[in-house]
Amino acid sequence: MTATTHDYIIVGAGTAGCVLAARLSEDPGTRVLLLEAGGASGPEAASLPDPLASFGLWGSSVDWAFSTTPQAGTDGAVHAWPRGKVLGGSSAINGMVHHRGHPASYDAWEAQGATGWNHRALLPFFRRSETAEGRDPEVRGTDGPMRVGIPAEPSALARAAFQAAVEAGHTPLKDGNGPESEGVSWRETNVVAGRRQNAFDAYLRPVLDRPNLRVATGACARRLVMDGTHCRGVEYAVDGGTHTALAERETVLAAGAIGSPHLLMLSGIGPADHLRELGVEVAAALPGVGGNLHDHVTSYVVYETADQPAPGGPGAEAQVLARSSAGAAPDLLLLFVAAELQPRWTGAGPGGHSILFSLMDPASRGTLRLRSADPAASPLLDPGYLTDDRDLERLAAGLRLARELGRTEPLASRGTAELRPGAAVSDADCRAYLRATASTYFHPVGTCRIGTDEHAVVDPSLRVRSTTGLRIADASVMPSVVSAPTNATVLAIAERAAHILTGTTS
């Protein structure tokens, strides 16, 4: 088995991996290998600007098609966890949302031990990742690869939703990613010329002809090549054959909150007792690997309505970032959707509208563990949804906010009935409804968190503790999930990781 040699090896060509490969290969003297288990492209639906088109990609060739273990907090439900398996990763199959969330989300990281990781420190990297025309250049990017903006003219229903939020007391914002983020704003998306723009389109496609950059698709990482506690590279499979790639500088994992801890544990880096139970030789005992797994949890109120979406594709959508209580940081995100959402993302139909509400700062935590030592076996995913009773209470506050908005005149005048949970339900009924309908918002994080304590997996420079030659830069390093969909945050994490590795932001 022959080995190839590179300066950097990046595992995973999702959002973070595309950023890293593009930035690290800017130096023509730096040899970069990017490994992606999926293919170079996917179904046509992957390019559509309609977020609901993502439903059609679940279970397709571009989806890892993960699922959770049965969740006691949601009445034993097993939740589908679609994750992108294609160049661009989950940015190629997600809802295309570009939202940073509230600065308090990032300042909380530093308070949890991620020294130097706060909103002020990340702001330059948010700006570097984006082009947001017409926004405040002090806080928004003007020449970054990801082009972001508000979609077409909002529908009458979307305008009514925005006005309903204002009448309910939520501050209208000119820019939901601007200096103020708590209130109601128009949701920004990554859509260019009517087509989805994923991280591969923005960062990597324009530089694929660099002679120092190699992108290998269909390349499934099997394990890290460890020499004691030093990572020398990656063993991976392509078309049934096994290959080895060695890194003269470093190997960087960018396989996400599922893929990165999974590969660490397959390589003997993780909770020692768990690895030994599965016959994996321990290279570095790191008890925090695969711990701290959590995700936004969401539900929705659904209304009948006589309104029909305007022709010509999706328009602007209103969103509200709010607080579950006066003493909390903003921890609820509400979104108005011109469709009748079915429970737990089982579909969406016309003839209705929905107010989706999500808990942005869940206290519940779970684990990712190996199912077996076979690299082809999916890991066991237990996010522990609603196992902390505080989450149910705060989600119930989100339900109350959503129903209040639905009863506000601009929306109430357009709706004909509250289909779910129904107008005449008690507080106990509402909590039962939440247990029966709560599900993922597709933003798992935290399984290789930044910190300095014994359960941290990476240090503030993103180096995997107790090892050398190995770093992680993806959603897994977040100590806690931010108050927004996570793609914009992962872009910033990867931009900062590239800066750490190269020592330059030019």
Summarize the annotated binding site as residue ranges: 86, 94-97, 441
Q: Which entry of 79, 353, 443, 499 is annotated as an active-site residue?
A: 443
Tokens found for residue 474? 């993806």
Task: Say how far apart CA 128 and CA 140 lie, in whole Å.
Answer: 9
Active site residue 262: no
Known binding positions for substrate: 441
Strand partners, 196: 191
**Whether the Cβ atoms of residue 346 and residue 377 lie closer than 8 Å to each other:** no
Three-state SS for 58-98 is CCCCCECCEECCCEHHHCCECCEECCECECCHHHHCCCCEC
Instruction: Give the helix/strand (H/E) hosting 418.
Output: strand 415-420
* Interatomic CA distance for residues 503 and 360, integer angstroms: 33
d(CA 221, CA 193): 35
Q: What is the DSSP string of 256-302?
A: HHHHHHHHHHHTTEE-HHHHHHTTPPPSEE-TTTT-SBB--EEEEEE
In the chain, what is the greatest distance between 2 CA atoms, to the nearest angstrom? Answer: 69
Could you count the other beta carbons within 10 Å of the beta carbon of residue 115?
A: 14
Distance CA 142, CA 139 (A): 10
The residues, any chain, with a CB within 8 Å of residue 215's CB and separated by 6 or more, are 13, 21, 34, 36, 87, 204, 208
Q: What is the set of active-site residues?
A: 443
